[in-house]
Amino acid sequence: MIAHLPMYDVPANRAAHRRLWQALQDHLPDAPNFTQPSVDLMVDWLSPELYLSQTCGLPYRAALHGQVQLIATPDNQIPNCPPGYYCSVLLARRGAVPDLAANDFTLAYNEPLSQSGWAAPQSIGLTGATRLQTGGHAASARAVLEGRADLAAVDALTWHFLTRDWDKAAGLEICAITPATPTLPYITALGQNAAALREALRQAILSIGLKDRQTLQIFDLVEINAEAYLQLPLPPTP
């Protein structure tokens, strides 16, 4: 079985992630142990062996809808967003914000199938005259700090972790924030019991200590239906 939480598995979160998974196994004794994600996450997400993972809203509506079940969406308590929703922050070098109206800047983004890194800035017209694909949100922030790009779209939760863990984050500033959209949902294969997973995962989140919930910035689950994800438009290809 495939079981992982790949999206925010930064080093400072790994111990808390493992305790969350142990709590899930306490509520579902048949739950498998953590597995290592494939290089291509889409392979894992589409596998009939998928037990639990977390995906992004854009790959869900572009490729996974009808192929997987939504379990639930985490409540990360993102400021100024409803429960279960998040936004992206547009980052520039401190004191060097480009002219956003002119759109004459280099935009760093993690990948084309990213709601927060690619679709969100497109939705507010920040396309960039040129673009730099970096492979990850932290890499996009680093590209701006190093002068290889002028602007980066990073989801608000990643930015929270960067400001917590990265001593150079103070060299960046937020120059725009995108509208809120449903955050990254937990998913399972069509043959799994999504309702049982939802209840066990909720109980696991509530049973780990407050410190672990704050570390992971996960405080509860929200049930957001598929239509809330599917109503968002697919962005143009970079």
Q: How far is CA 33 from CA 25, 95, 172, 215, 223, in A?
A: 8, 46, 38, 21, 25
Residues 156-198 have pLDDT tens digits of: 999 999 999 999 999 999 999 999 999 999 999 999 999 999 9
Residues 124 and 172 in one domain: yes
- pLDDT at res. 209: 93
Residues 52 and 98 in one domain: no
Residues 70 and 95 in one domain: no
Look at the chain and report how many structural domains it folds into. Answer: 2
* Residue 119 lies in domain: 88-179
Residue 82 forms part of a structural domain: no
Mean pLDDT of the chain: 96
- pLDDT at res. 180: 97
Q: Tokens representing 185?
A: 């949902």
- pLDDT at res. 238: 84
Confidence of residue 237 (pLDDT cuts 50, 70, 90): confident
Q: What is the mean pLDDT of the segment spanning 16-26?
A: 95
Q: What is the mean pLDDT of the segment spanning 219-238?
A: 95
Residues 67-113 have pLDDT tens digits of: 999 999 999 999 999 999 999 999 999 999 999 999 899 999 999 99
Residues 162 and 210 in one domain: no
Residues 33-77 have pLDDT tens digits of: 989 899 899 999 999 999 999 999 999 999 999 999 999 999 999
End residue of a domain, out of 179, 206, 222: 179
Residues 139 and 160 in one domain: yes
Strand spans (E) along the chain: 2-3, 50-54, 68-75, 85-86, 88-93, 106-109, 130-133, 151-155, 172-177, 181-182, 186-189, 220-222
Rounded to two decimals, the pTM is 0.95
